Amino acid sequence: MPARKPVSVSGYVKPGFEVVRQAFIENWSRHGEVGAAFCVYQRGERIIDLWGGLRNRATDEPWEEDTMVLVFSTTKGMAGLAMALLHSRGLLDYEERVSNYWPEFAQQDKERVTVRQLLSHQAGLYTLDEPIDGSIVADLDRLAEVLARQRPAWEPGTCQAYHAVTLGFYESELLRRLDPQHRSLGRFFHEEIASPLDLDFYIGLPETIPNSRLATIVQTRASLAGLNLQMLPQIAAALNPRSPLRRSLLGSSSPSNLFDRERVYVRNVEVPAGSGVGTARSLARAYSVFATGGHELGVRQETLAALMAPAVPPLRGFHDECVLTDWELSLGFQKPNAVIPFGRPGAFGAPGWGGSFAFADPEVELGYAYVMNRMNAGQGYEPREEALRSALYSVLGHPAGPPAAK
């Protein structure tokens, strides 16, 4: 439902970008926004930093400058940056076999799976046949045993299937094997990326973050009038317990409950494919560093070139067996294509369930992030985000890509 009273929007836009602020404000009247934040860096300068609406609709508490929110699969991009940092330090080769780093992984005909295939959702490991719960997710050694025992759904490298939950678990165990300190992905991200860059973003929210900084998620019922028609097969698949999409989400609810009645979100639980909590400002800043050369983190040019390169398709192409559409996934990120057109060809990022989106566009040295608490159905084309991106790129003089067909 549209907001019933004028929205309060705070923040800053660089002169010349006022049209972006106007698009942000109009999201409340046109698209029923509740609370949101939007931030853009270009060439290391923060050119847009906006927030507004309600952090908690039930109590009318406002979204403030330091409000953080759960961003679901937009977390995958931050996990991908952590893996890229391993690559830059010479600890990880995207073309190497996973089993060379993690011998137990070779079980169940997985010995030939490469790191590139695993991070690009081409390993056929989109679900877990063994049920897991919070105790297993918290015990990384036990979780690693479950992951290693999993049999691929098909020959790795032949098909693409979105590893909605499992990708982060596999990334974290691979990182533990390669990191000299054997840290989890969430701890590695915090110590090697978030702390050096002063980011308010966590993969595994600590107890020290007060509830007053956390936005509460607003679930909304999807209406056919507001849906992208390309999402209808996804919605049907999500309702079918036997579908690859539904099976890819199994286990997301045992650690699944990312929500906590007393603490807003669960604390100290790492689901690196979807439990990230933070600000748009931090997401945009992290991507900005990679979009401008990564010097602050010592990122090598070879790593940036790999992230910017076109995605390498599996044998049967980019049609995704889980989400039932064609999209290009590469090294832990999404690349621009017709389904979600964003940025220039070298861009890389990650959308999140409900509407959030963040990415790096190195060709225009841009870090971009939109987050919100009102959930829309699906993951992909989001009219609120597309309105902001179109306004931004119109000022920059670069096409943002046409919106997906509706």
> What Cα–Cα distance (Å) separates residue 84 from each residue in 74, 118, 189, 344, 399?
16, 14, 11, 20, 27
Residue 185, in any domain of the structure: yes
Identify the pLDDT of residue 172.
Answer: 98
Q: Which two tokens stand for residue 289?
A: 């560093």
Identify the pLDDT of residue 271.
Answer: 94
Q: Look at the chain and report how many structural domains it folds into.
A: 1
Mind listing the pLDDT tens digit for each residue in 12-31?
999 999 999 999 999 999 99
Which of the four pLDDT bands, split at 50, 70 and 90, describes residue 235?
Answer: low
Residue 56, in any domain of the structure: yes
| Cβ-Cβ contacts under 8 Å for 39 (sequence gap 6 or more) | 46, 48, 49, 50, 279, 280, 281, 283, 284, 285, 368, 369
Residue 172, in any domain of the structure: yes
CATH of the domain at 172: 3.40.710.10
Q: In terms of residue numbers, what domain contains 57?
A: 9-396
Residue with the two structure tokens 């990326």: 193
Residue 210, in any domain of the structure: yes
Contact 61, 276 (CB under 8 A): no
Report residue 13: phi and psi, to 5°.
Answer: -130, 140
Mind listing the pLDDT tens digit for each residue in 359-405?
999 999 999 999 999 998 765 679 999 999 999 999 998 766 544 43
Residue 406, in any domain of the structure: no
Q: Give 203's strand partners.
A: 276
Residue 402, in any domain of the structure: no
Residue 234, in any domain of the structure: yes
Higher pLDDT, 140 or 340: 140
Residue 4, in any domain of the structure: no
User: pTM score, two decimals?
Assistant: 0.93
Query: Rounded to an integer, what distance in angstroms lies between the CA atom of residue 298 and that of residue 7?
Result: 41
